[in-house]
Structure 1
Amino acid sequence: MANIRDVAQRAGVSVSTVSNLLNGRTNRMRPETLARIEAAIIELQFSPNRAARQLKTGQVNMLGLLVPSIVNPSFAELAHEIDIAAKQHGYRVLLGNTYRNQEEERTFLNDLLSQGIRGMIVVSTMTEQSHFHDAIARGLVMVNYDMQTHPDSPERSVIGDSISMDNFQAGKIAAQHLIDRGCKNIAFVTESGKTVSRMNRISGFINAAQQSGLSDHYRIIEGKARSGYGDAEMTELGKALAKTISQQPTPPDGIVAVNDVMAIGLIAGFRASGIRVPEDISVVGIDNTFLTSLVTPALTSVAPPLTEIATVMVDRLIARLDNPAIEVEEFLFLPELVIRESVVG
């Protein structure tokens, strides 16, 4: 199999000249030189690999994206927006689907670094783990989504930018909508794994309930997934929890689900138990995925501005790749309620 040196020899140029072509730096290259290199590439059936692209820059025009599970449509839709934003900068995205498994994450980080990829977006995972710090020490630049840090946390200076929807406000907005529509006994339904975003959503829900005089009329209902944090099991878990809720002596009249997938599972489970949504129980989701308008009733949900979030994440990551001295910042984006048919009134 031909390599970059074979191409250089056939075209009668240096290896660095071939590298310039592979990395799009042809503005000062003579047309005849460019033609010789292109002819040599075709003749030798050369497929440039990542190592060739690293010869001059030390990195490739690719970004890593680590997500817990692409099965969750909120992560899939975010990945889509990140891919679009990256391509506008001439970058492609390498996806790591790691299920919050530390060994999977460690392997993905090592793969990125070995391939010359120096920028990564980490979505909703536990970045305080040592393998993330090790990767940063080895030159990885990180932007973190959905993992807000405390202002005084030492992690801020190490982990990098934190970019997120304001999950506290998301939980509060969802609960307040139920209260405004007349719900008097509300619940937040979630998987028991405590990620930062889930805890912030619960805190916002509790805040709305307490400020509205429902301090004795709200509850947190948790279910345990078979593995991890339930990222790939939310629909089935929602169906199972709906059955449990339907058997309670006094079921809630309004529910905020931790995300849309959980909410859809709840609606399906209530239907199977003979409970009507929204006539008997109102349901609000969070994330506003494409599924919200496809279920019956269409799901009211709290929407993050995904396009804006993805654009800022990619812009910040590339800026930090160009200038690592840029000060670390935290960006919070306000969500909006999208009203559909799953809440009474």
Structure 2
Amino acid sequence: MAGVTIYQVAQEAGVSPSTVSNLLNGRTGRMLPETRSRVEAAIRRLGYRPNRAAQQLRTGRIQMLGLVVPSVANPFWGTFARHLEAAALAEGFYMLLCNSERDPDRERRYVEELWGDGIGGVVLCSSLPSLDHVKPTVEAGLGLVAFDRTAQPGDPHSVVNIGTDNVLGMRLATEHLLELGHTRLAFVSGSIGSVNRAERYSGFRLALDAAGLPPSAGIVWSGADTVDFDDRDTAELGRVAAREILAAPNPPTAIVAINDMCALGVATGAREAGLVVGRDVSVTGYDDIMLAGMAMPALTTVRQPVQEMAATAFAKLRQVMDGDGSESGHSILHRPTLVVRDSTAAPVVVTVS
């Protein structure tokens, strides 16, 4: 039952509100066993969950925030979590980390549990188009920052969105390949169902259109029947995509991957097909995770300023939690940069003698 109060619990159990409060706060030393049983039964019947935010304010306990990421199987999210935690600790906050696998129901349950346990603010990183699944909790008072996402119609008015300019970032990667002379490119992603992935695809398409290339110049491999934009299997998705695309007639000379893990999988698939990445086929990623610079060959990618973005996310979450809605409903975008390494080069020119 939504919005159940201790007064309703007290009425249901036939006790005073102070008796309910004593049980919730562990003060049961002088409480008769039958009274305690009656109150606990009333709590179960009504589905009451104490919101410990008020208790935290009264007791002065150290504040906490929640972070819900798709999966730390992608090192980008582990890096972001580390920087957000560092920003939080510097201000006396602790952080709880949850992996949602971009499952709306799982996100909803995490957010409700965090709010019910007295955590007043959450950074949500799924980039799903709709926030309807967490809207009731936000409207109940939870402070929410949506990360790696731009504001969408229907968002709760208090939400602040933070990320990079994904359209620009993917345009930078695609334009780099076009400038090298590639005219047949492939875009590899999981299902393009999240805000960030749709924006990156838009950047890819815009770059091809600006170069005057026909639609057939851009192959799109979404893997919708293989992986539903899940971060756990992105590298394998890239490997499978590369093997399939490169085995087709008139294959692309360059592959733009949705992120670095996907790009590393693409590079593996290209090697399995007998090709040399950076010579026979060029590959780009997005994120600039630590592994990107250590790969062989080192990966050309789009760098997100993760530490700066994490600091912004924490600062804006504090403002939302404090009731400052000056930037609510807006998108705060950091500028991505292109990092050119050895995985990209001019296409091989085949001469016929």
TM-score, structure 2 normalization: 0.79
SS in 1 for 2:265: helix
Compared with structure 1, are the counterparts of its residues 181 and 107 closer, same or farther at alpha carbon in structure 2 (3 Å cutoff)? same
Q: Alpha-carbon deviation of 1:59?
A: 7.8
- Contact 2:270–2:276 (Cα < 8 Å) also in 1: yes
For structure 1, the residue ranges without an aligned partner over 5 or more in a row are 7-49
Compared with structure 1, are the counterparts of its residues 318 and 55 closer, same or farther at alpha carbon in structure 2 (3 Å cutoff)? closer
Residue among 74, 82, 85 paired with 1:83: 85
2:260 is matched with 260
The separation in 1 between residues aligned to 2:236 and 2:123, in whole angstroms, is: 29
For structure 2, the residue ranges without an aligned partner over 5 or more in a row are 1-23, 28-51, 347-353
2:170 is matched with 171
Range with greater deviation from structure 2 (106-115 or 119-128): 119-128
- Contact 2:74–2:261 (Cα < 8 Å) also in 1: yes
Q: Can you list the C-alpha shifts for 1:146-174, whole angstroms capped at 9, x where unaligned?
A: 12125xx342624x111110000111000
Q: Can you list the C-alpha shifts for 1:55-114, whole angstroms capped at 9, x where unaligned?
A: 516885111101111111111111111111111111111111111223321221121112
- Contact 1:58–1:116 (Cα < 8 Å) also in 2: no
The residue type equivalent to 1:187 in the other structure is: A
2:240 is matched with 240
Q: Can you list the C-alpha shifts for 1:245-270, whole angstroms capped at 9, x where unaligned?
A: 12111111111100000000010111
1:213 is matched with 212
Q: Can you list the C-alpha shifts for 1:188-233, whole angstroms capped at 9, x where unaligned?
A: 1111242110110011111111111223422212213655422100
The separation in 2 between residues aligned to 1:187 and 1:300, in whole angstroms, is: 15
1:72 is matched with 74
- Contact 1:283–1:342 (Cα < 8 Å) also in 2: yes
Identity of aligned residues (%): 34
1:146 is matched with 148
> How do 1:1-345 residues align onto structure 2 when only pairs under 5 Å count?
54=56, 56=58, 61-126=63-128, 128-150=130-152, 153-155=153-155, 157-158=157-158, 160-216=159-215, 217-224=217-224, 226=226, 228-328=228-328, 329-345=330-346
1:20 is matched with none
Q: Alpha-carbon deviation of 1:311?
A: 0.7
The separation in 1 between residues aligned to 2:96 and 2:111, in whole angstroms, is: 11
Q: Can you list the C-alpha shifts for 1:281-302, whole angstroms capped at 9, x where unaligned?
A: 1001000001101211110100
The separation in 2 between residues aligned to 1:224 and 1:275, in whole angstroms, is: 26
Range with greater deviation from structure 2 (167-176 or 130-139): 130-139
Q: Alpha-carbon deviation of 1:176?
A: 0.4
The separation in 1 between residues aligned to 2:236 and 2:122, in whole angstroms, is: 31
The residue type equivalent to 1:340 in the other structure is: R
The residue type equivalent to 2:195 in the other structure is: V
The separation in 2 between residues aligned to 1:51 and 1:134, in whole angstroms, is: 17
Compared with structure 1, are the counterparts of its residues 136 and 273 closer, same or farther at alpha carbon in structure 2 (3 Å cutoff)? same
The separation in 2 between residues aligned to 1:331 and 1:270, in whole angstroms, is: 37
The residue type equivalent to 2:167 in the other structure is: F
The separation in 1 between residues aligned to 2:53 and 2:136, in whole angstroms, is: 23
Compared with structure 1, are the counterparts of its residues 193 and 202 closer, same or farther at alpha carbon in structure 2 (3 Å cutoff)? closer
The separation in 2 between residues aligned to 1:325 and 1:209, in whole angstroms, is: 39
Q: Alpha-carbon deviation of 1:53?
A: 6.6
Compared with structure 1, are the counterparts of its residues 214 and 119 closer, same or farther at alpha carbon in structure 2 (3 Å cutoff)? same
The separation in 2 between residues aligned to 1:185 and 1:314, in whole angstroms, is: 41
Q: Please tell me the root mean square deviation across aligned C-alpha atoms, in Å.
A: 2.3
Compared with structure 1, are the counterparts of its residues 250 and 67 closer, same or farther at alpha carbon in structure 2 (3 Å cutoff)? same
The separation in 2 between residues aligned to 1:285 and 1:181, in whole angstroms, is: 16
The separation in 2 between residues aligned to 1:233 and 1:71, in whole angstroms, is: 9
SS in 2 for 1:223: coil
Compared with structure 1, are the counterparts of its residues 327 and 269 closer, same or farther at alpha carbon in structure 2 (3 Å cutoff)? closer
Q: Alpha-carbon deviation of 1:51?
A: 8.4
The separation in 1 between residues aligned to 2:257 and 2:84, in whole angstroms, is: 25
Q: State the 4+ residue runs in structure 1 displaced beyond 3 angstroms.
A: 3-6, 50-53, 57-60, 224-228, 324-327
Q: Alpha-carbon deviation of 1:335?
A: 0.3
